[in-house]
Structure 1
Amino acid sequence: MKANRRVRAALGLVVAGALPLTGAGAVTAAQAAPSAPATTTTPATPLDVPAADDALALSQQVLEAAEQAASAPAARARTTTGPGVRRELDRAVSTLVDDGAVAVTARVEAPDLTWSGAGGVRELGGHARARTADPFRVASNTKPMIATLVMQEIEKGTWTLDTSVEDVLPGALPRDVTIEQLLSHTSGAPTASEYLILDKMQDPADYDEYFQVLGEHYSDGDHVRAAHTAPWMLEPGTGFSYSNAGFVTLGMMLEKVNKTDLDDLLEERVFEPAGMRSSDYPDSPQKRGTLLHDAAFTGPDGAGWYSIKHFDPSLFRAAGAVTSTTKDLAAFNEALVSGELVGAETVTDMLTPRSAEMIEYGLGTYRLPDPCVPGEYLYGHDGASFGTLSINLTSLDGERQVSLGVTGRNVTLDQEALYDLNDLLIPMFAATC
């Protein structure tokens, strides 16, 4: 049986924290469940980490959707309050579910329209219907929230953007970098997530073991060791290279200077003031409640579907552990750009790009051209866990927003996606015009 669940090639990093797999043997449907911890081993051959543009595949798709929405002849002329727009958005949600998404929850906010829709089921193989108020794993949409906490410390005078990581957490990273470099992904730090996983595995080519160890706990020490083991991507300050390890380091720094757990910092300084009543920073798997659970498809030549209900968020930590709803994500963006979480000058600093090599990335946020207003931008982030995608964007005034969560995704490098996100993203963007 194990022979039918083996990965032919090395695992690699694709999107903001998600590790795709390559194809394997006969098709077999399977659901991963927690089991005894695997013996910790270090792979004999380190994984090859793909180029940074692979890590930004979802960001590039969001940019493409915005461009297509802007080019639609009727985009800026449509009446967003009409029932036709709502029906179009509802149909688009259904299209993604029909094409293979396990669950979809989406929200559009505009001056003359507030729409939310949901489809599918809460977990792979389940029967409970997904609802618009259901939370999901937002993955790298956690990063703007962590960046907000960091910028609050800068406003208080605890740090500056030039503060060295070595001054706060000696030895946490193998090279000395600044807070600004971590926030902007210009530190050259590796993502390192794949090293964390493989360190827990006995057989790096085993599908079952791979999904099993996603339920293991990953300590601060595990993250530090992975950051030191993985190859450094660039010399600090010389270019853009997306890094989960960088934001995990920022989370550790925040906990040290505040002597408070990150979940409490987020609750007190982000969730509560932004009105995010259904958001959480969990430290253990969430198997009960209304969470839309991750589900991974390993391709028609792989081992079929895997439920990842047992996923332990300690693997992502400050780089992507938050769970939230589309309404809460929109509330966060509105609170951020309106100056409710940090001052106006700090907002401008966060939104100002430090790099435009692959995407215009600032400090924990990126921007893309506004499909409705030429010359303006939408701001926010996206995220991808092993079985969930999330997108959250806002206009600068906070009046027009799109937020989206989708569970169930094909995680193989050499297979097409189960569904086309643009089938929903394009009409969502157009509905804000």
Structure 2
Amino acid sequence: MPSRTRNRRAAVGLAAAALALPLALGADAGARPGTPPTGAAVGSGWTPEDQTALSRAVLAAAEQAASGPAAPDARRAPRPTEPATPGVDRAALDAAARTLVDDGAVAVTARVETPALRWSGAEGVRRLDHRSPARTTDRFRVASITKPMIATLVMQAVERGALSLDTRVEDVLPGLLPGQPEVTVEHLLSHRSGMPTGTDSLLAARMADPTSLDEFFAVLGEDYTDADHVAAALATPWLFPPGSGFGYSNSGYVVLGMMLEEVTGRDLERLLRDGVLRPARMRHSAYPDEPQSRGPFLVGAAYTGEEGAGWYSLGHFDPDVFGAAGAATSTTADLLSFTDALLLGRLVQPATVADMTTPRSTDVLEYGLGVYRVPDPCAPPEAPVYLYGHDGASFGTLSVALSSPDGSRSLALGVTGRNLSADPEALYDLNALLVPMLLATC
């Protein structure tokens, strides 16, 4: 693993107003018209950071898997003795996980569960420049996979009558979004509010020198309040009138968290514990508000390239940087427990699940209410079937969790060591593991 240097030269494109650090996930197949290519930096004209780059890479992986050798019909339950798709057995999955670490990931933990196959694997080390091996039970930052958890709490409140999808932010938190009185719960859940994502502006506001990588990574360890998130978002022009487009917004989910606390009188950590983590049996998951310091944990790391300062360990990362948009930590087993519990109607009513998984937008992603869908590679193209879930990208960790609607076929993975350099091919291609995992669900 390359060692970190003290070089203070800025990475290509690092700018105060955008901090559009690129995401290297291999080829950008499947990108939708009008969206930036994976790895685009500020200097290429795309600002702020492309918040859907990982989601589009997951979509591309599903499409790549679907275009491969014919797979069994996903709707037919395989016999217990039936092997996984030819060429995608446990050994192949183990090798794919090793490939990611060989190509530069710090750690990989991954899991696939089907009626015919139960596989979990881990490679690499828990922390940059340390020797402790990664384990399949290790926790990691799931980033935006927090969003479907928050969406679940919101829909529980809708079922109780404390909120409705048409409830306006103005009705619950008057004056919070000046000039935008028509923003509703549904707009925020589906990223159709027009509210800027906010995270880029939040960090830039704390930096005196926008060219300093050391300073950028230092502010990732500072405390931020919900009010800070909202103020940072409002310092950026509104993207579009509410309901008229799709714009991924971290700040929108922070606002949802604020609304939940207001209508329930309880803090978000307790709401998540009682409404999601416990009923979904997510025994090793949490919603922390301080950097991780105890227990088996995969610590994030960022690679800034030769033009930057090499590797940075993100053990100091404060989850307040994302708040309700992405502060949760979990394990691959817990993520599968969550997707199963949600899709099978154990957290919300079946009609609510159907509502959450119905896309409100197809412009960039087929995104519903805190959940998106991608084509199921195991289904015949003439009869489309989907996998449902979410992904997450912090500054040092990537994560994905997807499941079939009946919960019988699911996958989850976490990878530490994110490429933030200007070279999109500087590290691993996530799809080298994700595509085999998708095929293994067939």
User: TM-score surpassing 0.5?
Assistant: yes
Superposition deviation, residue 222 in structure 1: 1.1
Higher helix share: 1
Aligned to 2:21: 20
Task: Tell me which moved more, 321-330 or 83-92.
Answer: 83-92
Q: For residue 328 of structure 1, what is the aligned residue in structure 2?
A: 334
- Report the residue type matching 2:145 in the other structure: N
Q: Is the 8 A contact 1:383 1:390 kept in 2?
A: yes
Asked if 1 retains the 8 angstrom alpha-carbon contact of 2:49 and 2:200, the reply is no
Q: 1:430 to 1:308 in 2, by over 3 A?
A: same
Give the unaligned 5+ runs of structure 1.
23-45
Partner of 1:424: 433
TM-score, length-scaled by structure 2: 0.87
2:358 is aligned with 1:352:
yes
Percent identity between the aligned chains?
58
Residue 406 in structure 1 maps to residue 415 in structure 2: yes
1:60 aligned to which of 47, 56, 60:
56
CA contact (8 A) 1:12 1:50 kept: no
1:87 aligned to which of 91, 98, 118 = 91
- Whether 1:283 aligns to 2:289 is yes
Q: What pairs with 1:352-371 in structure 2 (closer than 5 Å)?
A: 352-371=358-377
Q: Give, in whole Å, the separation in 1 of the partners of 2:236 and 2:152.
A: 27
1:372 maps to 2:378: yes
Q: 1:340 aligns with which of 331, 336, 346?
A: 346
Structure 2 gap segments, 5+ residues each: 24-41, 74-81
Structure 1 residues 228, 267: closer, same or farther in 2, change over 3 A? same
For residues 17-56 of structure 1, what are the structure 2 equivalents within 5 Å? 20=21, 50=46, 54-56=50-52
Q: Distance in 1 between matches of 2:48 and 2:165?
A: 24
2-structure distance, mates of 1:413, 1:167: 44
Separation of aligned partners in 2, 1:208 and 1:169 = 37
Residues 14, 21 of structure 2: 8 Å contact kept: no
Structure 1 residue 48: deviation in Å?
11
Shift of 1:83: 10
- Counterpart position of 1:37: none
Q: Pick one of 230, 248, 251 that aligns with 2:254.
A: 248
- Which region of structure 1 is more displaced relative to structure 2, 194-203 or 80-89? 80-89
Match of 2:322 in 1: 316
Does the alignment pair 1:139 with 2:143?
A: yes
TM-score w.r.t. the length of structure 1 is: 0.89
1:316 aligned partner, one-letter code: F
Equivalent in 396, 405, 412 of residue 387 of structure 1: 396
Offset of 1:84 from its aligned partner?
6.7
Classify the secondary structure of the residue corresponding to 1:146: helix
Assess if the C-alpha contact under 8 Å between 1:184 and 1:364 holds in 2: yes
Moved over 6 A (4+): 46-49, 81-84
Give, in angstroms, the shift of residue 198 of structure 1. Answer: 1.4
Aligned to 2:36: none
**Counterpart residue type for residue 376 of structure 1:** V
Helix, strand or coil at the partner of 1:195 = helix
Secondary structure of residue in 1 paired with 2:121: strand
* Distance in 1 (alpha carbons) for counterparts of 2:196 and 2:43: 12
Aligned to 1:75: 71
Q: Which amino acid aligns with 1:214?
A: L
Partner Cα distance (1:258, 1:48) in 2: 45
RMSD: 2.4
3-state SS of paired residue (2:8):
helix
2:30 matched residue in structure 1:
none
Looking at structure 2, the residues matched to 275 and 305 of structure 1 have their Cα atoms a distance apart, in angstroms, of 36
SS in 1 for 2:337: helix
AA matched with 2:166 = D
**Cα deviation, residue 82, structure 1:** 8.7
Count of residue pairs the alignment pairs up: 407
SS of the equivalent of 1:75 reads coil
The CA distance in 1 between the partners of 2:122 and 2:206, in whole Å, is: 36
Measured at CA, do residues 108 and 52 of structure 1 come closer, stay the same or move farther in structure 2, by a change above 3 Å?
A: farther
Q: Distance in 2 between matches of 1:3 and 1:94?
A: 30
